[in-house]
Amino acid sequence: MGSRIKEFIDNTKLFGEVITLLPVSFMNYGAHILAKAFSEKVRYGKNLEKILEKESSKLGLDEKNVHVKFGPTFLDTAEVEKIPNGNYEILLSENYQDAFTLRHELYHIYKKHFEDKSPSVTRLFLRESQSTLYGLFRIKI
């Protein structure tokens, strides 16, 4: 393939990624503003245990395998990762300690989204949309 053509394809791909990621960020940000208005706040202790148990069981997950921590994340939102022995860790930053975000992250676990280390932008778009839809309305797609 000619280098001009390759360069053109690379640039087009990058442009495609940027215009795909923008609505994802926009959608998640918008959904979060919407969710914050009616979503239950998650607090350490009994409240967290109760919400985690309820939301995990709705997805058939064992809440004993899900460890929720509060603290800053890379983008100051929320993160989930697989940790040893079949456990998962969800990290919620200060502005994302609510039931909507917890549901969103649990749905990533349920769908095993984050196990894909370098997903395509299309997959990233799909999995964020799926988790946001579940977080807001409990719709499983």
In the complex, the residues that contact Zn ion under the rule CB under 5 A are 128, 131
CA distance 82 to 118: 15
**Total residues found in the chain within this entry:** 141
Q: How far is the CB of 108 from Zn ion (least distance, A)?
A: 6
| CA pseudo-torsion sign 102, 108, 111, 112 | negative
Which residues have a Cβ under 8 Å from the Cβ of 127 and sit 6 or more positions away? 108, 111, 113, 119
CB 42 within 8 A of CB 92: yes
Least separation in angstroms between CB 102 and Zn ion: 11
Give the nearest distance from C-beta 69 to Zn ion in angstroms: 16
Give whichever of 39 and 131 is closer to Zn ion, judged by the CB atom.
131
Min dist CB 62 to Zn ion, Å, is 21
Q: Measured on CA atoms in the order 131, 133, 135, 140, is the torsion positive or negative?
A: negative
Decide if 94 contacts 43 (C-beta within 8 A): no
Closer residue to Zn ion in complex, CB, 5/98: 98
Structure-token match 């064992």, residue found? 62
Q: Which is nearer to Zn ion, 52 or 127 (CB)?
A: 127
- Residue with the CB atom nearest Zn ion in the bound state: 131
**CB nearer Zn ion, residue 6 or residue 69:** 69
Q: Of the two residues 3 and 118, which places its CB atom closer to Zn ion in the complex?
A: 118
In the complex, the smallest distance separating the C-beta of residue 131 from Zn ion, rounded to whole angstroms, is 5
